[in-house]
Amino acid sequence: MLRQVADGVLVHQSEFLQSNAVVVQGRAGVLLIDPGVQDHEMACLANDLSDVSQTVVAGFSTHPHWDHLLWHARLGAAPRYGTARCAATVRARLSDAGAKARVAELIPPDIVEQVPLDLLGLITGLPADTARIPWDGPEVRIVEHHAHAPGHAALLIKERGVLVAGDMLSDVLIPMLDLSGAAGPIEDYLAALRLLEGTVGDVAVVVPGHGSIGGADQLRARIEQDRVYVLALHEAHDPSDPRLGPSAYGKDFLPNVHERQLQHLARRG
């Protein structure tokens, strides 16, 4: 079910990792950001939009990970965008016949049958350095950086006071660095946090890719919490992060993610 978080901005949360799909109302329809994960959830989202006579006129994927590249036929055939680097990464990863089978192996087995892959990754890369999403609605500024994944973008809807953070600033997930070949994953993450910090004065609501929606105070707190975690990784210290605690949301998998990041950075020296 859609939940309004700001004027003209609504969120639909998936069962999978508390994934947030974001709907921004425009003049002729809506912009849909990271539309969801499971088939029935995206169908529900399509129903909710139909019930209020809204159609999707544009889509956007914040970064090139499978759970942010999905789509449902009932959402229509609107253009779906990403940054130039995001789209290039998607094309490279999905360029051969076995790509979708590899993606399916990444999906938890309990939901893999419910994840529609037919329209996976059909996004158009916006020209490099594009500052705004091209659509007939409130200005949506693209804040591109190199943390978490190639071509990752946060989206600032200044008119509505909303920052859509993609896979950053979560209250339930630790920062996950891009370890796929980035030259300086620590430096990239810290630089991205500085970019997001620059939006603080314009933001009343932050929507992470996974987790709870927060207010302006939470935006500041989450930036600082993520910075402390990343610096602890850099120094190979115990981050004492509550998101890694025994009662935390990701207690069954996040400690392993944390350990893999430590090991990878140690190998890099």
DSSP output for 58-113: EEE-SSSSGGGS---GGG-S--EEE-HHHHHHHHHHT-STTHHHHHHHHS-TTTGG
Q: How many domains does the chain have?
A: 1
Does 233 score more than 70 pLDDT? yes
Q: Domain with 95 in it: what CATH number?
A: 3.60.15.10
The tens digit of pLDDT for each residue in 2-41 reads 999 999 999 999 989 999 999 999 999 999 999 999 999 9
Positive or negative torsion for Cα 77, 1, 63, 130: positive
Does 269 score more than 90 pLDDT? no
Going by C-beta distance under 8 Å and a sequence separation of 6 or more, which residues neighbour residue 52?
none
pLDDT band at 49 (very low <50, low <70, confident <90, very high): very high
Phi-psi region of 200 (alpha: psi -120 to 50; beta: other; left: phi over 0): alpha
Q: How far apart are the first and last CA of the chain?
A: 46
Structural domain including 264 reads 3-268
The tens digit of pLDDT for each residue in 123-158 reads 999 999 899 999 999 999 999 999 999 999 999 999
SS3 state at 15: coil
